[in-house]
Amino acid sequence: MKDTQERYAIGIDLGGTNLRGALVSRDGNIVKKIKEPVTEEVLDSLSGVVESLFSEQVAGIGLGVAGLIDRKEGRILISPNLPVLNGANLVERIGSRFGVPVTLENDANAAAVGEKMVGAGREFSSFVFFTLGTGIGGAIVHNDKLLNVAAEIGHMTVQADGQRCHCGNFGCLEAYASGRAVISRVIAALEKGRESLLRGVSETIYKLTTEDIYRTALDGDSLCREALRDAGRYLGIGIANMINLMSPGAIILMGGLTGAWDIYVKEAIKEASKRALRELFDAVKIIPSSLGDNAGIIGAAGLVFEHGVIVE
């Protein structure tokens, strides 16, 4: 990696709905960016995206993929939202085609690395990172290093006898505090005939988004406010648990649902303040990601240069 020719890395962020790729400089600047929807042909799309970003100046390729990763083998053990990737050896597949080093990392971990490099995590040596989208993911940075652990924050049980989660467990944080959970709850209430300003917002209630719900909540709709507040309360439990376990300097929140900050996240902070050990809560800052959707591609590229954050 010492060749000055090789000034860039390609960062890939492969989540449940979008495939993002970018050519990223050593210092974390995005030079070129591509976004595609994820389809059944995601492996071909991935090769295509890398192809269109590749040049002789590329030192390596970093892949951030939703799911449980076997780093040593470069394999995806299981990717619940992208089952076509289960068992795929992406490192071999991409590496043999492009002839440069390829690193594979969980998508939330990659995004946390991005935030640590050039984002909201820069000033914290230890933070816990939450991705709040359709599902809930996480990553743990401790003493300036990304911990090589599953950090499946979304699959922490917070309600022992709670709702079934799609992972098979009952009472997971994700079953209460995720975008999917908020939308399910709202749809179930609408199906039961509950009055709400949401009626008429989208063509059918089955196409409602968390943005629709937040916007309608700001208009004073009680169903939307309740759904976001309840989800926020559970998020607060998850945050308190991570504070009590990891005593971090910051909790950094990323993902679509953070758009609903004034209801969802504020409720979470209130709940966490009541639940976490006082001395630990007083020492933590709860803040939004500063890179947003770019965190994953910047972090994945950063892993190629081992930029500041070494995966341990």
Judged by the rule CB under 8 A, the positions of this chain that interact with a second copy are: 68, 77-78, 126, 138, 140, 142-143, 147-153, 155-162, 167-170, 176, 233-234, 237, 240-241, 243-248, 274-277, 279-280, 312
- Report the nearest approach of a second copy to the CB of residue 129 (Å): 13
Smallest separation, CB 274 to a second copy (Å): 7
Q: Which is nearer to a second copy, 214 or 234 (CB)?
A: 234
User: What stretch of H or E contains 226?
Assistant: helix 222-246
- Shortest approach of a second copy to residue 66 CB, angstroms? 14
3-state secondary structure of 95: helix
Closest CB to a second copy among 182 and 276? Answer: 276
Residue with the two structure tokens 């063509």: 203
The tokens for 59 are: 């030192």
Nearer to a second copy, 156 or 291 (CB): 156
Residue 212 or 226: the one with the smaller Cβ distance to a second copy is 226
In the complex, least distance from residue 181 CB atom to a second copy, rounded to whole angstroms? 13
Nearest approach in angstroms of CB 296 to a second copy is 21
Question: Which residue, 91 or 140, has its beta carbon nearer to a second copy?
Answer: 140
What is the residue type of 126? S
What minimum distance in Å lies between the beta carbon of 236 and a second copy?
10
CB of 168 to a second copy, least distance (A): 8
Nearer to a second copy by Cβ, of 50 and 141: the residue is 141
Which residues are within 8 A (CB) of 173 and not within 5 positions of it... i.e. 6 or more apart?
A: 136, 153, 154, 155, 156, 157, 158, 234, 235, 237, 238
Nearer to a second copy by C-beta: 3 or 279? 279
Q: Please, which residues have CB within 8 angstroms of residue 200's CB and are 6 or more apart in sequence?
A: none
How far, in Å, CA of 249 to CA of 141, rounded? 10
CA distance 43 to 90: 9
Taking each helix axis from N to C end, the angle separating 210-218 and 222-246, rounded to the nearest 10 degrees, works out to 110
Whose CA is closest to 123, among 250, 294, 27, 239? 250
Q: Rounded to whole angstroms, how far apart are CA atoms 172 and 231?
A: 12
Cα pseudo-dihedral 295, 68, 167, 288, rounded to 10: -20
